[in-house]
């Protein structure tokens, strides 16, 4: 089975992560695909395969070399984003000839080359798109397909290699992918997540991240008798929100610029709650942003002479760049592997997080490599087949370089 066939098979599994669940994995569909992958790995000849109680798949391919070389790992995640349903995904395979792609005639949903100009670089290539009603799941089923396809090639060809480790994790999309990852059991010297975007991406910088959960306790009184008594929790929420910088939001920032992002908001006169995520690449700016949030809460509470606004501020993950200061050789291996297979490396910061960021702080240095997709988490998601094929080649070339 080639990488395209694998990917089309995997997107048939609904693996939408559930942020409301306290279980791991958060959705039964993740466990279903994990069990399928265990059997597939065994079918292609991988003898050492484990599925643990939390839905993590681990596998090991022993060295066939006499000399000792580093053990390298490859990791992808099983779940898809809850931003849009991953149920009943109906992928479309399109030979792209330029212009717009009609995803869904009945709903008049179009993948526009003007709105998404990256399409123009794939004229003449085969693309896999959605049907306009779900996400596709290239994030990160493409990574899963690429890793397993590379492993199958390795096992069916006479290629010298050191010990190779692979892992597939649940719940990355809801920030829990590394929570129960067993670094000691995985036992790799370093690893790569196949979880990046378009072809050529190589990433070892990501946001420092925190979440800020606000709870506001108002005082509900009949509006006819409310004078000097009512405290409208929803209006207090608006007062807090209006104190945030207007231009430091995702829709107005790019590159290395950080932001505050309001992700949910619910309220009435009696109670209101809302959530911000805080992001910045620079550690000092990250601390400054968190301090500003605390100051906003203090200022609003002072207006009412009581702590009606409660804040739960929690760090989520940190920029892994500082972990690679003395290990840029790991980045160079991936960079050279891309060049060797005809891919131009694009070293860019991750404007988000990755399992690799958490794992790098857990002792497993894990930069991120492209999986090949575009427009993740939505109905305009697509992936060029050639990009997946090149990702397979990059994995094999990394294994070759590590084994020298």
Whole-number pLDDT of residue 354: 81
Euclidean distance between CA atoms 404 and 401, whole angstroms: 5
Catalytic residue positions, numbered: 79, 172
Whole-number pLDDT of residue 352: 80
Whole-number pLDDT of residue 226: 86
Q: How many residues does the chain have?
A: 404
Whole-number pLDDT of residue 364: 98
Whole-number pLDDT of residue 220: 92
- How confident is the model over 355-379, as pLDDT tens digits? 899 999 999 999 999 999 999 999 9
Whole-number pLDDT of residue 353: 77
Residues of the chain with pLDDT under 50: none
Whole-number pLDDT of residue 91: 98
- How confident is the model over 192-225, as pLDDT tens digits? 999 999 999 999 999 999 999 999 999 998 999 8
Instruction: Kindly list the structural domains of the chain, giving each domain's residue range(s) and its CATH number in brackets, ordered by start.
Output: 3-205+320-402 (3.40.630.10), 208-317 (3.30.70.360)
């Amino acid at each position: 089975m080639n990488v395209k066939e694998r990917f089309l098979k995997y997107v048939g599994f609904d693996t939408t992560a559930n942020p409301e669940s306290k279980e791991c994995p958060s959705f039964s569909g993740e466990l279903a695909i994990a069990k399928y992958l265990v059997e597939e790995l065994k079918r292609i000849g991988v003898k050492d395969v484990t599925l643990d109680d939390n839905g993590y798949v681990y596998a090991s391919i022993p060295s066939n070399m006499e000399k000792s070389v580093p053990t390298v790992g490859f990791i992808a995640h099983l779940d898809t984003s809850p931003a849009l349903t991953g149920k009943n995904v109906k992928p479309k395979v399109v030979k792209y000839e330029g212009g717009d792609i009609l995803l869904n005639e009945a709903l008049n949903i179009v993948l526009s080359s003007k709105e998404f100009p990256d399409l123009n670089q794939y004229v003449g290539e085969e693309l896999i798109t959605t049907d306009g009603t779900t996400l596709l799941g290239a994030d990160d089923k493409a990574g899963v397909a690429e890793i397993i396809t590379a492993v199958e090639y390795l096992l069916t060809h006479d290629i010298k290699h050191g010990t190779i480790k692979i892992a597939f994790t649940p719940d990355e999309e809801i920030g829990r992918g590394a929570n129960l990852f067993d670094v000691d059991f995985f036992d790799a010297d370093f690893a790569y997540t196949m979880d990046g975007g378009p072809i050529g991406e190589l990433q070892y910088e990501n946001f420092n991240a925190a979440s800020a959960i606000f709870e506001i306790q108002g005082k509900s009184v009949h509006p006819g008798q409310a004078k000097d008594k009512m405290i409208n929790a929803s209006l207090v929420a608006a007062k807090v929100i209006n104190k945030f910088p207007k231009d430091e939001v995702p829709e107005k920032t790019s590159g290395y610029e950080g932001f505050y992002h309001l992700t949910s908001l619910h309220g009435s006169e009696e109670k209101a709650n809302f959530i911000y995520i805080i992001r910045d690449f620079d550690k000092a700016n990250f601390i400054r942003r968190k301090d500003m949030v605390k100051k906003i809460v203090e200022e609003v509470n002072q207006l009412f002479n009581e702590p009606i606004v409660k804040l739960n501020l929690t760090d989520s993950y940190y920029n892994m760049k500082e972990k690679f200061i003395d290990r840029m050789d790991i980045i160079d291996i991936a960079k050279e592997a891309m060049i060797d297979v005809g891919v131009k490396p694009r070293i860019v910061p991750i404007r988000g997080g990755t399992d690799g960021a958490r794992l790098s702080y857990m002792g497993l240095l894990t930069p991120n490599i492209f999986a090949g997709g575009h427009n993740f988490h939505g109905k305009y998601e697509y992936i060029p087949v050639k990009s997946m094929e090149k990702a397979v080649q990059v994995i094999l070339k990394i294994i070759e370089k590590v084994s020298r």
